[in-house]
Structure 1
């Protein structure tokens, strides 16, 4: 009987090793996917707006909506603006897309310049860490197949998440330096 248990344990360990190696190989392939090239100037956003209440991200150009996307945010997105590290809230305010990561743990990511000077000063007065590393990103690598099912819940730690195909479009249409405004609620003018 002991030999049978030992065999089962060894078999399980071997299967886990194969699964981890296979997962690592898939992740390496995913990370080698080239990010999209920048879109033509006529398609570039000059401003991004997030309406938290509507769970929408808008790509804007000259005050008009170019494209909009359903988003997932921090699990406590409706608890007001991000205050501190780990609060699972999405910031509110005016920021910029200040750098991008093609090798992100999620499918591509655009960094939002949170915390700004005001966020840092508020945190210093309160004696806490304001947090950071807030991104617009796709789904975690290896999870792209779930697509829009990710919208069933707000699952990030404060970031703004879209599907992988949407992230590729946003990446191509959002140059570094693009302003982003994150509001509790915003409705585009018709």
Structure 2
């Protein structure tokens, strides 16, 4: 029995090492140094170019139940951490949707260490992120987290409440302005 456990641990270590080796390869970065800082306390989204402020968007909305380092599906909390724009949906019911690479490597690592996801789920997320693909969006950690507009929603609700299921929301006009900076690969820091 000990031999089987040893062999399983060796196989797992080998898989993890190969995934980590590929994780040191650079992720597609924004060529112009653009990145986004989302301050969930001040309710602002700041577009940065290096350490220079390009534009500040105020009165953003976040998840209706705040933020968390340990997001799970349907908790209506915005995940904290460093993410990248993974895809753009121009036909979203929320006007325009800039999808994040959530759950990312760090999120999956925390969840695996806390026994909130299985080894198989953890390895699947690692494999996707190492290949610069969208991670699975249907795990216990949730998915389809992004930056979006309000679509046909009520602007007064947006002005008064945090209303999303975990995303960052701006007005449709703000999303139009923000769109000129957001491309796949742009870093989004949510704090």
SS of structure 2 residue aligned to 1:67: strand
Match of residue 111 from structure 2: 123
Match of residue 136 from structure 1: 147
Cα 1:88/1:152, change in 2 over 3 Å: same
| Runs of at least 5 residues in structure 2 that lack an aligned partner in the other structure | 1-31, 118-138
**How far, CA to CA, are the matches of 1:171 and 1:147 in structure 2?**
19
**How far, CA to CA, are the matches of 1:121 and 1:81 in structure 2?**
12
More helix by share: 1
Where in structure 2 are the equivalents of 1:81-100 lying within 5 Å? 81-100=69-88
Match of residue 22 from structure 2: none
SS of structure 1 residue aligned to 2:163: coil
1:55 corresponds to 2:43: yes
**How far, CA to CA, are the matches of 2:74 and 2:103 in structure 1?**
14
1:32-57 deviation per Cα after TM superposition (whole angstroms, max 9, x unaligned) = xxxxxxxxxxxx77100011111111
The normalised TM-score by structure 1 is 0.66
**Cα RMSD (Å):** 2.1
Aligned length: 137
Cα 1:148/1:169, change in 2 over 3 Å: farther
Q: CA deviation at 1:69?
A: 1.1
**How far, CA to CA, are the matches of 1:81 and 1:155 in structure 2?**
19
Q: CA deviation at 1:61?
A: 0.7
Match of residue 159 from structure 1: 167
For the 8 Å contact 1:112–1:134, the answer to whether it is kept is yes
| Runs of at least 5 residues in structure 1 that lack an aligned partner in the other structure | 1-43, 184-190
**How far, CA to CA, are the matches of 2:110 and 2:50 in structure 1?**
33
Match of residue 61 from structure 2: 72
Question: Which range moves more in the overlay, 127-136 or 105-114?
Answer: 127-136
Q: CA deviation at 1:114?
A: 1.1
For the 8 Å contact 1:123–1:129, the answer to whether it is kept is no
Q: CA deviation at 1:159?
A: 0.3
For the 8 Å contact 2:70–2:111, the answer to whether it is kept is no
SS of structure 1 residue aligned to 2:99: strand
For the 8 Å contact 1:93–1:181, the answer to whether it is kept is yes
For the 8 Å contact 1:97–1:113, the answer to whether it is kept is yes
